[in-house]
Structure 1
Amino acid sequence: MYETEILADEKVPTIEIVREFDATPEQVFRAHIDPELYRQWVGPRSLTTRILKWEGHTGGCWAFANDRAGKEIAAFFGSFHEVRDNERIVWTFTYEGQPDSVALETLTFEGRDGGGTRLRVLSVMSDFATRDGMLSSGMDVGVKEGYDKLDELLGQRTGPAQQHLQDAAVFTALVVSALPEDWSRPSPVSDWAAIDVVKHLIEWSRGFLAGGAGIEFQTLDIEADPKAAWRQHVADIQAILDDPSDRVLSNPHTGDMPVDKAIAMFYTADIWMHSWDLAKALGLEPDLGQERCAAALDAMRPMEQMLRDSGQYGPAISIGDDASAQDKLMAFIGRDPHWKAQVPGD
């Protein structure tokens, strides 16, 4: 993994950022202009990004918000001055909390000799005070961690390992945000409290892997410390995905398949879906990604009857055609998209 250089000019109010990647300029460019990819890596690891508007072309505009455990803590907006495919992006960048301080950023994607990409970001601000205030705000942490995440997204981890890393991180942020009294809050799943969502993900997946692949796990006391149990569980599953070796999972219903593929197909998708349940149980508004929700719904519709017969999902809930892809997906699997926990004292 490469280091990120952040340079402040003494003569003009600019910040220059230089970072190299072992990926093509086309791949690095796409990760900046595709909103679904961009939201996965931008910013520090402690935050998630929610795209509010994205018109990734010359003359378009954009806006996104940063959330911690489902609560918005910062929002940004700007416009695309120029988008030159795989070569250059010029955009304005404004923090909503300081709307008079507008930065003009130029991103260039340079192919390196021998392969890879050198990304250069030149940010020009109106004065030194604004520039120095940004530098002292801790922006370097967000920039460096963001590019580390981009490195992972581009190839440090790939396939099932990368997907689990991303989805488990979102669920972990929710788990960490919960107070002790939150675990008894009702969830959108009938007869489940918030802690039951965590229990379900831990218990069924460990049993599934132990029975089908002979992978033994330590027993976790979820009731005593849900946060510690979840963190250990995530580490256990990630270790398998990072080094699946030649392990095979055998199951009478699915046949034989590589263990990492089985985890991705049956378990990682479950983390993603159940993050909606846990967020709702905690009184937060989840964001599963509209494009991903639409793709999941398209994949599930052809086997709707089989899914209903399996008992995994309840009866579909009627919802308007103008509803979001996320709301349509939740309604399809039997969740009320507008469900809210009714907790005394809330």
Structure 2
Amino acid sequence: MRRATERTAALVRTVVRTMGQERLGDPTPCAEFDVRGLINHLEWVAELFESLGEGGPRVEQGPYAGDFPERAERTLAVWARPEAWQGTSPAMGLPMTTLAHMFLVDMVVHGWDLARAVGVPYEPDAEAVERALSFTGQMVEMGRKRGAFGPPVAVPDDAPPFDRLLGVIGRDPAWKP
């Protein structure tokens, strides 16, 4: 969780601080978001999983703030506590370990979405990819029903694990802006 989040936070920092406002309208592989919308989604994800990790409520998405790296650090601090991983979320009705994996998938995949959108290299953590791939394999149908994943994209059986993860959740590993 930490490595995947830190990679995505560093990427967001680069986009927000060095690429300027003109890149915020660029399209992303996540069809519902441009770069600004994707970063705003990441801000909400961090805030949501911080609250859930503390046993708190589901929070609503606020306006774009450009502070994802700071929010991500707070989220990681909450999930660094062993008790965050125990039991079931009162707000979501899911095991805390399931929520942690949901957060991991968001960090890994949306990091790629952002990198691909702005044309910078992205190499996800191999262990994070394996965990995310295993988790999505178990949760893909529920994810599709809830609108979190799109229809599968065909990738070769011998494709790298990250390409298979992208295909399972409905992303085309060959996507280009």
1:296-315 correspondence to structure 2 within 5 Å: 296-315=132-151
1:222 aligns with 2:64: yes
1:268-289: CA deviations, max 9, x gaps?
3321221111111111232224
Counterpart AA for 1:193 = D
Q: Distance in 2 between matches of 1:238 and 1:170?
A: 13
Mapping 1:48-87, distance limit 5 Å = none
User: Which is richer in helix?
Assistant: 2
- The Cα of 1:311 is off from its aligned counterpart by 1.8
Equivalent residue number for residue 253 of structure 1:
93
Q: Which amino acid aligns with 1:253?
A: G
1:193-246 CA distance string (max 9 Å, x none): 11222211221442455477238x9x98634xx1xx123212321332345667
Is the 8 Å Cα contact of residues 46 and 75 (structure 2) preserved in structure 1? no
Q: What's the counterpart of residue 123 of structure 2? A: 287
The residue matched to 2:90 in structure 1 has which SS?
strand
**What pairs with 1:3-82 in structure 2 (closer than 5 Å)?**
none
Give unmatched runs, 5+ long, in structure 2.
none
SS of the equivalent of 1:279 reads: helix
Determine whether 1:318 maps to 2:159.
no
Aligned to 1:231: 69
Is residue 2:14 matched to residue 1:177?
Answer: yes
AA aligned to 1:274 is H
In structure 2, what is the equivalent of residue 20 of structure 1? none
The amino acid across from 1:177 in the alignment is: T
Indicate the percent of aligned positions where both proteins have the same amino acid.
26
Q: Highest relative contact order (Cα 8 Å, sep 6+), 1 or 2? A: 2
Q: Which residue does 1:203 correspond to in 2?
A: 44
The number of residues matched between the two structures is 169
Alignment correspondent of 1:188: 29
Letter in 1 for 2:42: L
**The residue matched to 1:190 in structure 2 has which SS?**
coil
Q: Find the aligned partners of 1:239 and 1:303 in 2 and give their Cα distance.
A: 26
SS of 1:251's equivalent?
coil
Q: State the TM-score, normalizing by the size of structure 2.
A: 0.75
The residue identity in structure 1 corresponding to 2:93 is: H
CA RMSD of aligned residues (A): 3.3
Q: CA distance change for structure 1 residues 329 and 242 in 2, over 3 Å: closer, same or farther? A: closer
Q: Which residue of 2 aligns with 1:125?
A: none
CA contact (8 A) 1:289 1:326 kept: no
Q: Give the drift of 1:327.
A: 1.3
Distance 1:304 1:221 in 2: 29
Greater share of strand residues, 1 or 2?
A: 1
State the TM-score, normalized to the length of structure 1: 0.42
Distance 1:335 1:196 in 2: 17
- The residue aligned with 1:265 is 101
Which amino acid is 2:78 matched to?
A: I
Give unmatched runs, 5+ long, in structure 1: 1-162, 342-346
1: CA distance between counterparts of 2:92 and 2:62?
27
How far 1:291 moved relative to its partner?
A: 5.6
Residues 290 and 324, structure 1, Cα contact 8 Å, conserved in 2: no
Give the whole-Å Cα distance in 1 for the aligned partners of 2:136 and 2:81: 30
